Structure 1
Amino acid sequence: MLRIERITKQFGDKIAVDNLDMTVEDGSIMGLIGQNGAGKTTTFRMILDFIKSDSGLINWNGKPITQEVKQGIGFLPEERGLYQKMTVEEQILYFAELHGMKRDEARKELVTWMDKLEVVGKITDKVQTLSKGNAQKVQFIATLIHRPNFLIIF
């Protein structure tokens, strides 16, 4: 369970997040909806510990978000984060290993996901040769390959 208690983040005179309380129960799906500048991305960045809140607490199952906890988070950013010169396989294995997954296990999962998502191409294809749609599918596979406990998509 993700628990956010009274988090605040300010950039200069601009209050991006103001005293936010939120709980995301295990197994639930939750979305943050708001106008540009409402603090959605800032909130996600604080959950992922990319930036620190000015005040408040962010906990996963009652404990602070540690590096170990972050290993169990899948993150799919709105901007593409693939290395264009790498093959699909190199890309996915790289992300899987960052999350502590073994190469053989990741390779099997990659083939399964490529089939499930009907990615056109081979694991030996360079990312730069993929269509935008297939590159997005590969990005999604990179997010899910390590079977995250918590998934952030924005």
Structure 2
Amino acid sequence: MGLRKPSCARVPDRPVELTRPEARGRAGPGSGSEGQSPGPESGVWHRRGDRGVSGPDSLEGGATGRASEELTEAERRIAELHAAACAAGQLNYVDPATGYVVLTQLAHVQRGHCCGSACRHCPYGQVSVKDPSKKKQFNSYFYV
């Protein structure tokens, strides 16, 4: 998966309808198509009408900041837990390192806007976070 430039945050002005990748007829991993959406086993959800734009504002887990090979083991585990939770339609999962309950992107999209809490999986680019020191870096899968 090649690196892609992060896109600007797009905050929807109405509730977002979610679709599974297979409902959109997108190619899955190993299809040989660069830039295609991940397959249904990835657990990634997409906004209806989203055309595969990746970044902190999308619900797609594409690489935008660092390649997945550059993630630490702990970061890879978080990405796996998040993908599994989204695949199961769960709104949260438990961080194994801290024991904290972490909201999935699905939960954030259901809310419909950035809450300003600098959430790990914020699909809105953390646009409502007031304190710049609390804003986090997007590592290609989530904010750290």
* Fold conserved between structures, TM > 0.5: no
Question: Normalising by the residue count of structure 1, what TM-score does the alignment of the two structures yield?
Answer: 0.24
